[in-house]
Structure 1
Amino acid sequence: MADGTFAVLMLIAGLTDMGVNHCGTASGCVGAGDVAPRVAFSAGSSLERRADTGAEAYLRYDLSRTIGPFGQAIGLSLGEESGAWAGYGLTWGTGLGNSPFYTELHVMPGLYAASDSFDLGGPIEFRSGIELGYEADNGWRYALSYDHRSNAQIYDNNPGIETVQFRVSMPIR
């Protein structure tokens, strides 16, 4: 899945959730909601595709306001081979039955600065991905995440890059 597949999945799942669970409420389809904000730190590696494998660290802050079923997030990543990226976007998540396991999708456009050895093609790059994890009773989450960054072919050069990371996040109360 080295393209916009996660973005499309998030759109389909989020809009379905919106229609089923949000549009019939007093706040409406895109009404604001409140959730506990959380901060997440991830560490992992870019996958060897067109770039060399290299370490990456990612910091994300999930805001306390939702837009219908969609959360809002701000992220910053620094990679040994993948450069620096900062962006803002939407998340959508769901629990897996009554278990402590969950999945979350995200789509985040952002600004990118290339590394010395690899360039994603331009300063605007989109990050989309999936997180599969476990939420402990205290609200801390432990997850494996996979994401893709590319410029959606708005520039002539669009090599894209994928990363796999271990993420730990905690609610801010």
Structure 2
Amino acid sequence: MADGTFAALLFIIGLTDMSMNHCGTQAGCLGKSDATPRFSISGGEVLERRADPAGEVYLRYDLGHKRGPFGNAAGLSIGENGETWIGFGSTYTIPFGRSGAYAELHSMPGLYFDNGGFDLGGPIAFRSGIEFGYENRRGWRMALTYDHRSNAGIYDDNPGIETVQFKVSVPLN
């Protein structure tokens, strides 16, 4: 799963949902609707694969709207060795009934600066992943996240890295 699998799942599941539940509405397939804006902070570790294990902090802002079933989010991560990623992309949330449990996929293109840390092969890097979490009655979310970052083969060298993090998300309304 350390490639573009999560991004592909986001678009396949999201486009299926869009065609079944959004295209027949007056707003259309990508009609704008309100969503809860959120600020998230997560911390965790880059997994040992080609990179050395290292800590990372990730901040994310989920915008207060959706287009069809897709949310939008902006993110910034900073690694313990100075690596910095900033990006913007799509999210797709799958609630598990009324239990508060959910899964969320995300896919976000962005810019990556190794700053002397792990080199991802070039400045364009894609981040995609999945989180499993719980949302309480006040809208706070706690989740375990797994994601992958790489340049998707647009440069000669495409090492890629994975992170596992614990995330807390606060509603901003």
State the TM-score, normalized to the length of structure 1: 0.98
Count of equivalent residues: 173
Checking the alignment, whether the CA contact within 8 Å between 1:63 and 1:72 is kept in structure 2 is yes
Structure 2, gaps ≥5 residues long: none
Q: What letter is aligned with 1:7?
A: A
Instruction: Tell me the CA shift for residue 115 of structure 1.
Output: 3.9
Structure 2 residue 78 is the aligned partner of structure 1 residue 64: no
Match of 2:131 in 1: 131
Q: What letter is aligned with 2:42?
A: S
> What whole-Å deviation, never above 9, does each CA across 1:60-107 have from its counterpart, x for those lacking one?
000012111000000000012471000000000011122110000000
Checking the alignment, whether the CA contact within 8 Å between 1:52 and 1:81 is kept in structure 2 is no
State the TM-score, normalized to the length of structure 2: 0.98
> What whole-Å deviation, never above 9, does each CA across 1:109-155 have from its counterpart, x for those lacking one?
00000142410000000000001000000000000000000000000
Structure 2 residue 78 is the aligned partner of structure 1 residue 78: yes
Match of 1:98 in 2: 98
Q: Any runs of at least 4 consecutive aligned residues in structure 1 with deviations exceeding 4 A, and if so which?
A: none
Describe how 1:143-158 pairs up with structure 2 within 5 A: 143-158=143-158
Structure 1, gaps ≥5 residues long: none
Describe how 1:1-150 pairs up with structure 2 within 5 A: 1-81=1-81, 83-150=83-150
Aligned residues with identical type, % of pairs = 62
Q: What letter is aligned with 1:36?
A: T
RMSD: 0.9
